[in-house]
Structure 1
Amino acid sequence: MSIRSSSMSDDNPRPQKRLRLEHESHPEIRPIPPETLLLSLPTLLAHPPTHTNHTRSLFVAQLALRKCLSIPGLDSSAECRSWTELAEVGLRIGLNEPGVESEVERAITKALVIANKHPSLRIYKTQLTHLSSKLALYQNNPRFAQNTLKKHLANTILPSDPPHVQYSAHLAYISCLSTIPNTDDDRHQHSSSSGRLSVLTAIREFHRVATDNGHAQVALLATVLELRELVQAGLWSKVGLQAEGH
């Protein structure tokens, strides 16, 4: 009977236990800055409209953003984001709630001033323009909403902007133009025809941008929008031509 020497290596050595260090170093845990936490709450608390806590989450988000804006020395980025999100939350709560309409209007104005001062915050301009147009529509001023979106497309949106920024701006403008109701009244017939032409022109420009970007599915969406507009106008001959062309 042979006895294996302790000096010989074991084919299946037992794993050594991890030595516990008495003075293990831990990274210092720093508290979350108040503005970071407050700006995160609207997203953390978000619920779908069908959820029982949806309304409550909106009001808590509104309070969190107001609290964030009261923090002294808030940097421009956090302040612009806070005003923008406060306007968004206000629109979701409803402009018919007491004080919400004036707060949304003030928030949009404040955020736009900051975004215009700092080129690095230019990304907020598109969303703020959309919010401003929604407010104008609520205030029964569709022309102002349309002109604001049109100027934004012409003067702010660049070909170098991300595609989703370009497309959202085009779709917002198209949607806003479509708010002008069509009517058979002779007094408004010319205005209705002009409005329809504006919508079709905007849709075709949207189609051109999508085609230039090589996004066939987005271009197809533009075609569907144009077909819908033609159907609503009762221009069936043009519907057939448009459908055959695609």
Structure 2
Amino acid sequence: MHAIEITDLHKSYGPVEALRGVSFTAAEGRVVGLLGPNGAGKSTSVHILLGLARATSGTAAIGGRAYTDLDHPARTVGALLDQGGLHRGRSGRDHLRVLAAAARLPEAAVAVALEKVGMTRAADRRVGTYSLGMRQRIGLAAALLGEPRILVLDEPANGLDPAGMAWLRGMLRSFANGGGAVLLASHVLAEVAQVADDLVVIGEGRVLADGPLADVMAGDTLEHAYLDLTAASEGMF
């Protein structure tokens, strides 16, 4: 059983087809890079996977079950989509306390998550004083609160400086090496090339490539392979 399995997903918004039969998987112990231009269908696929949107047809499963059917979602999958839920007047620690309580997690999980993302010293400052990179780390801490075995991350490198990006790569690699599965949606191709085991490239709502990183790159750079794939897709529809 795959950690994540998306099968023949279709999603329409009126006459607009956002997804046209998207299928891909993410296995335990692997980092899967999810790439595609703006509007390609990446976010729609992720939102359906996490129960935030409903597919027109097709299925999206986490450990063989729909997100809404999971017994304890926070202990199964951690997600980082954006920092829109951060209250500027609340401390980073208090933000995580609220999330832990809502997910029925022990308060001790907050300190553990803060330590994992290197935010212990700044945890009692107000979020309004944080840089974008610090807010991103709090978002990652929220994803890690339940010690899940699956991570779904949308642009986790936003706002991180070079040291932060190196830390993120190490964290994701360690998570996967420990048996976890990571679905990483990103526009930062250089970072994806350094951490991903597998790639899924989406364009115009369809999967353009799906396989091990080396196979998708086919001896070229990831940037060139990606640009060739997405440019070719423009004439497919």
- Identify, as 1 or 2, the structure richer in strand: 2
Give the structure with the larger helix fraction. 1
- TM-score for both structures, normalised by structure 2: 0.27
Larger radius of gyration: 1
Between 1 and 2, higher relative CO (CA 8 Å, sep ≥ 6) is seen in 2
Normalising by the residue count of structure 1, what TM-score does the alignment of the two structures yield?
Answer: 0.27
